Amino acid sequence: MKKRTLLVDLDPQGNATMGSGVDKHGVDASIYHVLVERTPVRRALQRVPEGDFDVLPANGDLTAAEVELMDLAQRERRLREALAEVSDDYDYILIDCPPSLNLLTLNGLVAAHGVVIAMQCEYFALEGLSALVDTIRRIAASVNPDLRIEGILRTMYDPRNSLTNEVSAQLHQHFGEAVYRTVVPRNVRLAEAPSHGVPAMYYDRGSRGARAYMALAGEILRREEKQRQAMPRVLT
């Protein structure tokens, strides 16, 4: 979409880093150093060789960050403060959080303006969604009033499955227009791309999975433009 983009990997597994084609074991500085040692973000950035975007990488070092951050002042604002120095360099900064509500995820939520919730249409995912929504509301009420749910993305979607349709219907009932119209289907090409160290868009641009994510990007941009036009003009 020709947008200047930074991908922040906030998961100790480093899947977003490796999936982008960056060797998480070969980086000199990572998100760990940014959070704990206050290394400037620009020193840790990696340009993705197979794509026109930057990555702030993560690896196993990040596992220790949560423990080390516990004793530090303003521990939940570390990422927000670090990204402030590069925020004007990008149109979008995407933060990939770990699949748990810990101090790393809290840093991501405090730094962000919005949350895209990706979930499978399964019962336990629906239960976890309730806890996440409650956490987002509490963070917005206390430390980050700009935080909101941007949208809910249904992934690994199989319309032939009755449970998928039931959960999908419940999402529409409770969240309405917050549910993206775009769905990401189960797609083998999406599963194959990480093993090649290439984003799915560059591994097989014509695959159903890649086309779905392109559609999602377009939907996100259209929503943002609609929100921008709906904002009241302030005249002085």
Write down the pTM of the prediction. Answer: 0.92
> Any idea which of 57-61, 77-81, 106-110, 200-204 has the lowest mean pLDDT?
200-204
Bridge partners of 154, per DSSP, are 119, 183
Supply the pLDDT for residue 66: 85
The confidence band for 233, taking pLDDT boundaries of 50, 70 and 90, is: low
Question: Distance (Å, rounded) from C-alpha 209 to C-alpha 221?
Answer: 19
Instruction: Please state the separation of Cα 195 from the chain's center in Å.
Output: 20
Whole-angstrom CA distances from 128 to 87, 120, 133, 156 are: 31, 11, 9, 17
Amino acid at 193: A
Return phi, psi of residue 58, to 5°.
-135, 155
Supply the pLDDT for residue 173: 94
Supply the pLDDT for residue 235: 60
> Tell me: the pLDDT tens digits for 109-141?
999 999 999 999 998 888 889 889 999 999 999
Indicate if the pLDDT at residue 75 is higher than 80: yes
Indicate if the pLDDT at residue 80 is higher than 90: yes
> Tell me: the pLDDT tens digits for 20-32?
999 999 999 999 9
Residue ranges in 20-161 assigned as alpha helix (H): 31-36, 41-44, 62-69, 78-83, 103-111, 123-142
Question: Distance (Å, rounded) from C-alpha 200 to C-alpha 177?
Answer: 27
Return the CATH number of 1-112, one of 3.40.718.10, 3.40.190.10, 3.40.50.300, 3.30.70.260.
Answer: 3.40.50.300
Every domain of the chain with CATH number 3.40.50.300 lies at 1-112
